[in-house]
Chain A
Amino acid sequence: MSIEAKEEFRPKIVAFCCNWCSYAGADLAGSSRLSYPADVKIIRVPCSCRVNPMFILRAFEKGADGVIMCGCHPGDCHYSTGNYYARRRMTLLFSMLDYIGVENGRTRVEWVSAAEGVKFSTTMNEFVEKIYSLGKNVRLEDIRCRN
Chain B
Amino acid sequence: MDISAISGAVSSAAGIEAPAAPENPQGASAFSQQLGGVIDGLQQSLGTSDDLAIKAVTGDLQDIHQATIAASRAQLEVELVSAVRNKAVDAFNEIMRMQA
Real binding pair: no
B residues at A contact (CB < 8 Å): none
A residues at B contact (CB < 8 Å): none
